């Protein structure tokens, strides 16, 4: 009997080939990453840490996890005597939650960017368990769309957080980790960098590194880093015991070693010289896309981009984010609807769309293609249909 699932899979493969993917948190992984993800490591239970497992038969799983941890140290250019690495979190959300439970007590104060201004749900939004268990206060951007570090400092002084998060899902500008560290030090807070979106840019040298400033770094592996859907926590050695115990047995059971293997393959690829070119090109493409959109009259939050993503206010076109996203999808251009800073609309149908260049850059597109895509977006969104 033909498999219904494989029929659906073929349709999805075709959809991915035939559309233009501008979702900034997505990418196309290599055949090798897919091969590792679909490998026999999927068959194995490996609760525990390397060489300290609750199951037998983990000789090669141990070798694998040691190697992937080593690749993380190499990719981020950090020393194993200073930073501990956990490659087991199932996702970025779990990595963040494990970090909070690893270094905080219930109801402790945390300062992070608000979702509306570009933060993530797990940075203490009220709809997320994180916002229910810890006491969050938020900073945002100024009218110019840039993080206002004086505001961050002022809130930190008043709120006295135990943890400050420098991390974003929808912020088109460079983060200043040194400034975040100075603010964290001034109130004796730990600094956590959630680099989920920009990990690949950091490894490829296209965004400043959070090291040596951050005490903890969390990241997904599937965005600009171009790996499987998984996550990593890197922290100063003294925090590792608590964080590791929170990942397992605190929150998770057996790690997905197939995902860990695929993360390793993605890191091997990210350590090749070509990946530097890729990361630089992602940013060049985003800048080219932003520039042409501006020429065509679009209103961009902060007026442009320094990284892989662009936020567009579509309300001057008489559209909501949902309407713009629907119109584009009909024509094969896939984007995110997204809130913009000071949005008066709700997350389900916000005022903006979020565009990014990681996936189209993997397909080999360059600046001239971005100009063409911007023109196509204008045709679709400005057309009357
Ligand atoms: N942190 C940031 C900054 C993100 O952008 C995301 C996902 O978009 C996450 C965490 C959560 O990752 P996941 O979807 O793997 O749980």
Task: Report the separation in Å between the CA atom of 95 and the middle of ligand 1, taken as the mean of its atom positions.
Answer: 9
119 lines ligand 1 (CB under 6 A): no
How do residues 299-352 score in pLDDT, each as one tens digit?
999 999 999 999 999 999 999 999 999 999 999 999 999 999 999 999 999 999
> pLDDT for 57-89, tens place per residue?
999 999 999 999 999 999 999 999 999 999 999
Residue 229 a catalytic site member? yes
Instruction: Check if 167 has its Cβ closer than 6 Å to any atom of ligand 1.
Output: yes
Q: How far apart are CA 64 and CA 138, in angstroms?
A: 39
For residue 157, the model assigns a pLDDT of 98
The bridge status of strand 109-113 relative to strand 163-167 is parallel
pTM: 0.98
Asked about 326 being catalytic, the answer comes back as no
- What lies within 8 Å, CB to CB, of 132 at 6+ separation is 126
Domains in the chain, ordered, with CATH? 31-270 (3.40.640.10), 275-383 (3.90.1150.10)
pLDDT tens digits for range 206-216: 999 999 999 99
Buried b (16+ CB within 10 A) or exposed e, 59-79: eebbebbeebbebbbebbebe
> Sorting pLDDT into bands at 50, 70 and 90, what band is 385?
low
Which among 25, 93, 100 is the best mutation to test ligand 1's pocket, defined by most ligand atoms within 8 Å of the CB?
Answer: 93
Residues 258-279 pLDDT 10s: 999 999 999 999 999 999 999 9
Going by CA atoms, what residue is nearest to atom 9 of ligand 1?
A: 92
107 class by beta-carbon count within 10 Å (0-12 exposed, 13-18 middle, 19+ buried): exposed
- What pLDDT was estimated at residue 2? 85
Identify the CA nearest to 200 among candidates 99, 308, 73.
Answer: 308
pLDDT tens digits along 120-159: 999 999 999 999 999 999 999 999 999 999 999 999 999 9
The three state secondary structure string of the chain is CCCHHHHHHHHHHHHHHHCEECCCCCCCCCHHHHHHHCCHHHHCCCCEECCEECCCCCHHHHHHHHHHHHHHHHHCCCCCCCEEEECCCCCHHHHHHHHHHHHCCCCCEEEEECHHHCCCHHHCCCCCHHHHHCEEEEECECCCCCECHHHHHHHHHHHCCCEEEEECCCCCCCCCHHHHHHHHHHCCCEEEEECCCCHHHHHCCCCCCCCCCCCEEEEECCCCCCCCCCEEEEEEHHHHHHHHHHHHHHHCCCCCHHHHHHHHHHHHHHCCHHHHHHHHHHHHHHHHHHHHHHHCCCEEHHHCCCCCEEEEECHHHCCCHHHHHHHHHHCCEECEEECCCCCCCCCCCCCEEEEECHHHHHCCCCHHHHHHHHHHHHHHHHCCC
Strand order, beta sheet including 352-356 = 299-300, 309-313, 352-356, 336-338
- In the residue annotation, 45 being an active-site residue is answered as yes
Question: What are the residues whose beta carbons fall under 8 Å from the beta carbon of 206, sequence distance 6 or more?
Answer: 276, 279, 280, 282, 283, 307
- Is 220 one of the catalytic residues? yes
> Which residue, 276, 285, 279, 284, is CA-closest to 201?
279
Distance CA 107, CA 138 (A): 15
Cα 92 to ligand 1 centroid, rounded to whole Å: 5
pLDDT of residue 259: 98
381 CA distance to ligand 1 centroid (A)? 28
Pocket test for ligand 1, best of 89, 92, 201 (most atoms within 8 A of CB): 92
Distance (Å) from CA 230 to ligand 1 centroid: 10
Cα radius of gyration rounded to whole Å, the chain = 21
Collect all residues with Cβ–Cβ distance below 8 Å to 59 and sequence separation of at least 6.
Answer: none
Residue 323 token pair:
């309407």
> Does residue 47 carry a catalytic annotation?
yes
Can you tell me which atom of ligand 1 is nearest the CA of 168?
3
Task: Judge whether residue 1 has pLDDT over 80.
Answer: no
């Amino acid at each position: 009997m033909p498999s219904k699932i494989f029929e659906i899979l073929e349709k999805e493969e075709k959809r991915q080939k035939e559309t233009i993917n501008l979702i900034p948190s997505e990418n196309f992984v290599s055949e090798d990453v897919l091969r590792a993800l679909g490998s026999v490591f999927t068959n194995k239970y490996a609760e525990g840490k390397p060489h300290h497992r609750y199951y037998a038969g983990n000789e090669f799983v141990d070798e694998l996890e040691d190697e992937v941890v080593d690749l993380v140290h190499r990719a981020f250019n950090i020393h194993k005597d200073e930073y501990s690495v956990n490659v087991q979190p199932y996702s970025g959300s779990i990595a963040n939650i494990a970090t909070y439970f690893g270094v905080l007590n219930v109801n402790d104060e945390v300062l992070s960017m608000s979702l509306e201004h570009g933060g993530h749900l797990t940075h203490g939004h009220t709809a997320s368990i994180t916002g229910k268990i810890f006491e969050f206060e938020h900073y945002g951007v100024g009218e110019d769309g840039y993080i206002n570090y004086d505001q961050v400092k002022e809130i930190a002084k008043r709120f006295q957080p135990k943890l400050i998060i420098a991390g974003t899902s929808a912020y088109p500008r460079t983060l200043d980790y040194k400034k975040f560290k100075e603010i964290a030090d001034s109130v004796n807070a730990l600094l956590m960098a959630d680099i989920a979106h920009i990990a690949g840019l950091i490894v490829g040298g296209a965004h400043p590194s959070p090291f040596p400033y951050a005490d903890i770094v969390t990241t997904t592996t599937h965005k600009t880093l171009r790996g499987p859907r998984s996550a990593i926590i890197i922290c100063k050695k003294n925090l590792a015991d608590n964080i590791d115990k929170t990942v397992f047995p605190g929150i998770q059971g057996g790690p997905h070693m197939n995902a860990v293997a695929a993360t390793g393959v993605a890191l091997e690829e990210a350590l090749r010289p070509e990946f530097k070119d890729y990361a630089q090109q992602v940013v060049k493409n985003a800048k080219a896309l932003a520039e042409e959109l501006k020429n065509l009259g679009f209103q961009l939050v902060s007026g442009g981009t320094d990284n892989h993503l662009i936020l567009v206010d579509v309300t001057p076109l008489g559209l909501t984010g949902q309407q713009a996203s629907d119109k584009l999808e009909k024509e094969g251009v896939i984007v995110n609807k997204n809130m913009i800073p000071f949005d008066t609309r709700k997350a389900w149908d916000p005022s903006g769309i979020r565009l990014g260049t990681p996936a189209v850059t993997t397909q080999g597109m360059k600046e001239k293609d971005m100009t063409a895509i911007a023109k196509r977006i204008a045709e679709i969104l400005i057309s009357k249909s």
